[in-house]
Structure 1
Amino acid sequence: MPSINASEVVNSARLNGFHYLLVAWCSFIMMFDGYDLVIYGSVLPHLMTQWSLTAGEAGLLGSSSMVGMMFGALSLGTQADRFGRRRIILFCVALFSVAALANALASGPISFSLCRFLTGAGLGGVVPNLVTLLKEMSPGHCRNRLINLMLSFFAVGGLLSGVAGIYLIPAFGWPAPFYLAGLSLLALPLLYKTLPESVAYLLHRDQQVQVAALLRRVNPAHAPTGEVSYRLEASADARATSMSALFGQGRALSTLMLWLAFGLCMLMVYGLNTWLPKLMSNGGYPLGSSIVFLVVMNLGSLIGTLVSGVIADRWGCRKTLVLCFALAALSISLLGLRPDAALLYGLLLVAGGSTVGCLSVVHTLAADLYPVQVRATGVSMAAAIGRCGAVAGPLLGGLLVSLSLPFEQNFLMFAIPGVLAVFAVLLVTRQRNSNAQPLPQRSL
């Protein structure tokens, strides 16, 4: 019986309705990821007043979702290689939807923190698997762009959370945006019916009939005659455990530096999204304008994520990340100089675009670094360790506010991680897995 490499069938496919639907669902989920996380920055000033929170307590409250994301990435995200990408994604969507809806009913810091933790756990488990699923099911010529398009909806969610903060909170109070966050629960039945499993996972379970049917949807031009079997190229680490494979084949330094870059990126993203309105308000800007600044920064995030995907397909992930991290450090540090309105908005656009642009590309870098047998584990572990930075970001902002530092020093502290991340990315070396598909772009 002839044997066909299923990865080559997926890699050579033309974009079609299957891919559009897959990207649409992943983007929809990613939008709620951005909404659920960024909304805290909008409600934070109101919670500090209503519950008489100190800056340190507010930072701890903001970090609860990040701790949840780290827990979710470790406990849920890494299980996708065992239970399948689809099952984990569906479970995580249900978890973060219910938890976000319950957040609106929180009566104090403790219940609010618990709901934020559970929301973060669902989001932490779902995002790495969205990246993995798109990585394994997208055509090779546009893979990075599709992944970054999906990740750009984090910024769309952030924009919506800012708009909700501007219009809903004054009219209905701080719980109102969380009721909107629970709307993702309504999409779960349709998501259950239409979201596919990845070819790679089905082949690991030797489900040849399902693989053949799925490949006909992925690549309608693939029409083998007679009975065939499908396979994946075996990698040198195929018999290694998931964790040992992350450090095998000369990947030890690259894995550690990838984790560091992930963490530094998330520190900037979540630290700024949590504390930007408060920092700007403390700097003399009206609170309403400070939330508008958050909206502008997330508009830049949307633009930057889309642009970074195109650049990554042409330059490769490492060069793109070096550029984005450098721009992030420069633009964030300049925010502290109190520029005029036009320059301020320009810097916020660049800061949002470069930081979240880094976050999208670093996910792609992680997916490229590991062989298919441990890809979900590799991406999930990188995201989980990176959540240490996401936890540190809100805590750092709370510390800076409590120290009452000069305005410019606050932003300088958020810029330093960008400089360190440049050197971390440069130490991530190119891997050539025997199961990697040759791509026309020069991605890592």
Structure 2
Amino acid sequence: MNTPPTTGALNASSPSRLPVGIMAICGGAIAFDGYDIVVYGTTLSRLRDEWGLTSGQAGNIGSAALVGMFLGALVVGTFTSRWGRKRTFLACVTWFSVLMVLCAAAPGPEFFAVVRFLAGIGLGGVMPLAAAFTTEFAPRDRAAVAYVIMQSGYPVGGVAASLLAKWIIPEFSWHWMYLIAALPLITVLPAAWRWLPESAEEQSVAASREERRDAARAGLRAIFAPGIRTTTVMFWVMSFCSLLFVYGANTWLPTLMQDDGRGFSSSLNFLLCFNLGAIVG
């Protein structure tokens, strides 16, 4: 007989309660995920001046983290099947936090771009894991609400990056913005280690590789079935265009406003409002 989830689940199986503890841990990780992406936009004007970046170089550096996120989201399932969901989550948080410290110590744009790409792998891995934890332990009839609340951590991280940049960059330097990104090592990581439960699936008998492979094939057949495949492709296109705008705005908005004659602090207000609107949305 399988043992029930640990107290870290915070009575997630109760039909009347959301998994507050799990939402807080996963939402915190997603908030730093958002911070780590948006922080580049808050520091871009200073990096451009210090390193003499062209617009093309700045765009390539900004894309490096996103390419890493794409790769991380693709490969995280492989590591989850080997290490379990909780260990993989802890590894991803540790990975991107340490690498963000290296961003602060970057001597030039080439090193910075490589480290941002590597950090992006961890950032991309955290997102599906946080979603899986939240929806698995939420009451079935409130899983969507739990997911939306948890995912709102992303623009919260963007708001934090905008507010902190208005004070830290003029008073200190852009390097400190990336050092702050290491805070999950002393906040999210210990809480996840202590209270994040193992997946209920991992507490059961593990499925064979053949069964998992068959399940994956069945899922692909389902989303590309006649009458569904057009919806699947259009959903992908819609998601791509939405993310293109969101990541593009978070990267370029402050710099575009400065190029238009706005001051540094004023330019960050646009990024702040953009992410405040995302929270409400």
Deviation at 1:11, TM superposition (A): 6.4
Deviation at 1:36, TM superposition (A): 0.6
C-alpha distance in 2 between matches for 1:160 and 1:184: 14
Deviation at 1:96, TM superposition (A): 0.6
Verify the 8 A CA contact 2:223 2:232 in the aligned structure 1. no
1:249 to 2:251 alignment: no
C-alpha distance in 2 between matches for 1:68 and 1:37: 11
C-alpha distance in 1 between matches for 2:12 and 2:170: 49
Deviation at 1:72, TM superposition (A): 0.9
Secondary structure of the equivalent of 2:222? coil
Q: Structure 2 unaligned runs (5+)?
A: 2-10
**Aligned residue-pair number:** 265
Deviation at 1:81, TM superposition (A): 4.3
Q: Cα gap change, 1:70/1:163 in structure 2, threshold over 3 Å: closer, same or farther? A: same
Secondary structure of the equivalent of 1:241? helix
More divergent stretch after superposition (262-271 vs 237-246): 237-246
**Deviation readout 1:137-173 (Å, 9 max, x if unpaired):** 1102221111111110111110110012110011111
Alignment match, 1:299: 276
Alignment match, 1:332: none
Alignment match, 2:201: 200
C-alpha distance in 2 between matches for 1:10 and 1:166: 39
Deviation at 1:262, TM superposition (A): 2.6
Amino acid at match of 1:103: C
Amino acid at match of 2:204: L
**Deviation readout 1:353-379 (Å, 9 max, x if unpaired):** xxxxxxxxxxxxxxxxxxxxxxxxxxx
Secondary structure of the equivalent of 1:76? helix
**Deviation readout 1:67-122 (Å, 9 max, x if unpaired):** 11011111224532453221211110000110111111011001111221122110
Amino acid at match of 1:15: R
Alignment match, 1:70: 70
Secondary structure of the equivalent of 2:204? helix
**Deviation readout 1:346-400 (Å, 9 max, x if unpaired):** xxxxxxxxxxxxxxxxxxxxxxxxxxxxxxxxxxxxxxxxxxxxxxxxxxxxxxx
Q: Cα gap change, 1:299/1:239 in structure 2, threshold over 3 Å: closer, same or farther? A: closer
TM-score normalized by the length of structure 1: 0.56
1:112 to 2:112 alignment: yes
Alignment match, 1:149: 149
Q: Within 5 A, what are the aligned runs for 1:336-355?
A: none
Secondary structure of the equivalent of 2:99? helix
Verify the 8 A CA contact 1:31 1:155 in the aligned structure 2. yes
Residue among 287, 291, 294 paired with 2:264: 287
C-alpha distance in 2 between matches for 1:250 and 1:52: 47
Amino acid at match of 2:243: M
Secondary structure of the equivalent of 1:248? helix
C-alpha distance in 2 between matches for 1:144 and 1:267: 24
Deviation at 1:299, TM superposition (A): 0.9
C-alpha distance in 2 between matches for 1:186 and 1:243: 36
C-alpha distance in 1 between matches for 2:137 and 2:33: 21
Alignment match, 2:254: 277
Q: Structure 1 unaligned runs (5+)?
A: 2-8, 207-236, 305-444
C-alpha distance in 1 between matches for 2:255 and 2:212: 51
Verify the 8 A CA contact 1:273 1:294 in the aligned structure 2. yes
Amino acid at match of 2:224: R
Q: Cα gap change, 1:94/1:239 in structure 2, threshold over 3 Å: closer, same or farther? A: closer
C-alpha distance in 1 between matches for 2:46 and 2:239: 30
Amino acid at match of 2:15: A
TM-score normalized by the length of structure 2: 0.87
1:100 to 2:77 alignment: no
C-alpha distance in 2 between matches for 1:183 and 1:144: 28
Deviation at 1:197, TM superposition (A): 1.4
Alignment match, 1:357: none
Q: Cα gap change, 1:157/1:77 in structure 2, threshold over 3 Å: closer, same or farther? A: farther
Secondary structure of the equivalent of 1:133? helix
> Which structure exhibits the higher relative contact order, with contacts defined as CA atoms closer than 8 Å and separated by 6 or more residues?
2
Verify the 8 A CA contact 1:65 1:116 in the aligned structure 2. yes
Verify the 8 A CA contact 2:166 2:265 in the aligned structure 1. yes
Alignment match, 2:190: 189
Verify the 8 A CA contact 1:97 1:181 in the aligned structure 2. yes
Alignment match, 2:5: none
Verify the 8 A CA contact 1:77 1:124 in the aligned structure 2. no
Identity %: 38
C-alpha distance in 1 between matches for 2:215 and 2:177: 39
C-alpha distance in 2 between matches for 1:114 and 1:204: 40
Q: Which of the two has higher C-alpha Rg?
A: 1
Deviation at 1:14, TM superposition (A): 2.4
Deviation at 1:242, TM superposition (A): 5.3
Q: Within 5 A, what are the aligned runs for 1:47-66?
A: 47-66=47-66
C-alpha distance in 2 between matches for 1:49 and 1:180: 22
